[in-house]
Amino acid sequence: MDTPPDERHGSVPETTGGEGQGLDRRSLFRLTLLGGTGLALDGLLDVRMVRAATKDLKLSQVSEFTTSCNFCSCGCGMIAAVRDGNLLKMEGDYDHIVNRGSLCVKGISMFATHASPKRNKVPLYRAPGSDHWEELSWEEAVNRIAKKIKKTREETWVATEKVGDKDVTVNRTDGIAFLGGAQNTNEECYLFQKAARLLGIPYVEHQARL
């Protein structure tokens, strides 16, 4: 039986990349080069010293957290790199089912908006008829909002509604609406929906539908 040309000359046959067909020439060359480079570096470098030195690099002591982009309703996943409570960078999450690591121009600019010196970091309040904003503490803002909700709910409360000849219990307020955001998770949306229903708010909408 004649020996195939590839085996007779000792060459490696090129494959189409199918599973189980072995390595092609380019892959074999790449593995050989990487292996030789690794052996050469192993004789020149002390691996333990290199690892110790990397502890002081700019990426040391960095924690990564997954989050969602807050610009629109797509819910693209992002990875935030944080050190000592400070955001270092943001990138697309390659494991996220929605965007697979890609981001639109708004998502890419997320870090820039976060680090912008013009970003508002405290609650602001402008009184009716006023021409300027006043800074409030978070406690003052929460208390003001709570009082507004309570006052509006009491003034606009509807306990019963006439349906035909009967008075039907409805227990709702027509003076408050609830608007959700695209960056909220399913768990957060569940809690928001519960809070809205407990307050008697029938008008619950989502930012993505507007």
pLDDT digits (tens, 9 = 90+) for 10-26: 444 444 444 445 556 66
Closest CA to 134 of 142, 146, 122: 122
* Residues forming beta bridges with residue 161, ordered by sequence position: 168
When divided into structural domains, the chain yields a total of 3
CATH of the domain at 91: 3.30.200.210
* 188 belongs to a structural domain: yes
* 145 belongs to a structural domain: no
Q: Do residues 201 and 179 both lie within one domain?
A: yes
Distance (Å) of CA 64 to CA 31, 58, 78, 113: 32, 14, 10, 19
* 64 belongs to a structural domain: yes
pTM of the prediction? Answer: 0.54
pLDDT of residue 87: 82
Closest CA to 80 of 59, 70, 65: 65
pLDDT digits (tens, 9 = 90+) for 62-104: 788 888 887 777 778 888 888 887 888 888 889 898 888 888 8
Containing structural domain, residue 186? 156-209
Question: How far, in Å, CA of 70 to CA of 96, rounded?
Answer: 15
* 122 belongs to a structural domain: no
* Strand pairing category for 86-92 and 77-83: antiparallel
